[in-house]
Amino acid sequence: MLVLIGVAIVVIGFALRFNALLVVTVAGLATGLAGGMDLVGIISAIGKAFTENRYMGLIWLTLPVIALLERNGLKEQARQMIGRVRAATAGRVLMLYFVIRQVTAALGLTSLGGHAQMVRPLIAPMAEAAAANRHGELPDAERQQIRANASAVDNIAVFFGEDIFIAIQSILLIKGFLEQNGIIVEPLQVSVWAIPTAIAALLIHCTRLSLFDRRLARTFAMPVKKDAR
């Protein structure tokens, strides 16, 4: 049980808001020493893990690009574009993104979207603008709800859509787990049976978004002005 000391160090370090990199490094060193490794072996293992997974750091390169685009008016352009569509509502914008996100995930394009790349700079501002065009300026609570729904759409769509793609890691994980318990299945079988679940997720979440639109319409219904004659 002593090798679990790294977990305790991470929990305590994050709770006390110490430097994250320092906390993780100390936790790794403590775990290695508790497991009987020498200092050279621990450093070698950390270096090997970094080298083998260095491509994971490429995701951080997108953040400065997104920041520059936002600073140069990406959100404003998204709001203006959706403002020209009279039929647009917050729920309809998010429904459309749900369909696109789920279909692309089903084709294996799980990176075509995401919170940092798509939701924050484009989808959430477009949904907010659509709601503002119909109901006027919204309070902060409603704007935060729209943003939360935009994030949820991305998560749910990719979660249920990616299982349709036969070569995704989740399919292989399910196949391996079933085989360990004596159930032999082909990845194609798991993929096919994921389709009804994805359709159900689409219908359920689109219903939730439609109800969200109706709630906004009831809450911010414009009063009808009486004729002064």
Structure tokens at 143: 């704007």
Structure tokens at 207: 């219903």
> What span, in angstroms and rounded, lies between the C-alpha atoms of 47 and 53?
10
* Between 90 and 180, residue with greater pLDDT: 90
* 89-100 as b/e: b if 16+ CB within 10 A: bbbbbbbebbee
Length of the chain equals 229
According to DSSP, residue 222 is labeled P
* Between 21 and 213, residue with greater pLDDT: 213
pLDDT at 137: 84
> What span, in angstroms and rounded, lies between the C-alpha atoms of 81 and 95?
17
Let me know: does 204 contact 210? Beta carbons within 8 Å.
no
Q: State the amino acid at position 212 in one-letter form.
A: F
List the single range of 10-14, 29-33, 59-63, 188-192 with lowest mean pLDDT.
59-63
| pLDDT > 60? residue 217 | yes
Q: 148 pLDDT band (50/70/90 cuts)?
A: very high
Q: Domain segments of the chain: what residues?
A: 2-49, 60-219
Site of tokens 């939701």: 119
| pLDDT > 70? residue 11 | yes
pLDDT at 196: 94
Q: 101 pLDDT band (50/70/90 cuts)?
A: very high
